[in-house]
Amino acid sequence: MTRRGFAVVDVEYRLSGEALFPAQIEDCKTAVRWVKANAKKYNLDPDRIGAWGSSAGGHLVAMMGLTHDENVFETDDHSQYSSQVQAICNWFGPTDFLRMNDFEGRIDHDAADSPESRLIGGLIQENKEKVAAANPITYVSKNDPPMLIMHGEKDRAVPYNQSELLYAAMQKAGLDVTLYKVVNADHGFRNATQDSAASLFEMSAQFLEKHLKPQTDAASP
């Protein structure tokens, strides 16, 4: 990405073993505000920030994009800056925890030891208000930024329907959203039969260029 003129910030956040939700999204939003607070120091454009993540990271970047106008999950650090981002690349992130068991996979998402239950600190089917707060799909609204969603159609960890649900909700809201199905791919795009890792990266990079780079730069060879 640096060769394309992007600065890359690798965000660390607290995992569910360290802290319950919403610590994770709070950390991510704080990181965005830190970037904006230090934009001049590092020669960054604070108005052209994209977020790209996969799996749990995909969940968080979707949350970053979709909660921008909700005034939630903000901390006091650099609070004079907005945590809004301008484009989202979501690789196979969970979007509606209560629907993750709709299709058989390698994980019982309703179980006490599932990643989702550990994240909220209780069984997801018994804590539906907490789950709603952690679901990206809850926050879809008409002013959300463009999103590219990529997901393996045979993902047995995060079912493909998770991306279909979010895609449908964003389309209904009239948003700029693209869902790309990675044929035959499992979680992490393993066993993909038509797309290489390089081609998936290239599609994602082009999406971010389209929505973040000034038009004169994006059109340059």
What pLDDT was estimated at residue 104? 84
User: How many residues appear in the chain?
Assistant: 221
- What confidence tens digit (pLDDT) does each residue in 171-206 have? 999 999 999 999 999 999 999 999 999 999 999 999
Q: Give the mean model confidence (pLDDT) for residues 97-115.
A: 95
End-to-end CA distance of the chain: 15
* Sequence-ordered list of residues with C-beta below 8 angstroms from that of 82, at least 6 positions apart, any chain: 33, 36, 68
- Give the residue with greater pLDDT, 221 vs 19: 19
Q: How confident is the model at residue 215 (pLDDT cuts 50, 70, 90)?
A: confident
Predicted local distance difference test score (pLDDT) of residue 216: 66
**Is it the case that residue 221 has pLDDT exceeding 50?**
no
What is the residue extent of each domain of the chain?
2-215
Per cent of the chain over pLDDT 70 is: 97
Mean pLDDT across the stretch 124-129? 97
- Between CA 13 and CA 196 the distance in angstroms is 29
CA distance 91 to 114: 20
Per-residue pLDDT, 214: 84
User: Band of the pLDDT at 217, cuts 50, 70, 90?
Assistant: low
Provide the CA 151 distance to its chain's centre, in angstroms: 12
Tell me the chain's radius of gyration from C-alpha atoms.
Answer: 17
On whether the pTM is more than 0.75, the answer is yes
pLDDT at 69: 84
Mean of pLDDT over the chain = 95
CATH superfamily of 2-215: Alpha/Beta hydrolase fold, catalytic domain (3.40.50.1820)
Report the pLDDT averaged over residues 125-154.
98
pLDDT digits (tens, 9 = 90+) for 18-58: 999 999 999 999 999 999 999 999 999 999 999 999 999 99
Mean pLDDT, range 52-68, rounded to an integer: 98
pLDDT of residue 2 exceeding 60: yes
Q: What is the mean pLDDT of residues 196-219?
A: 88
Q: Counting beta carbons within 10 angstroms of the beta carbon of residue 135, is it exposed (0 to 12), middle (13 to 18) or buried (19 or more)?
A: buried
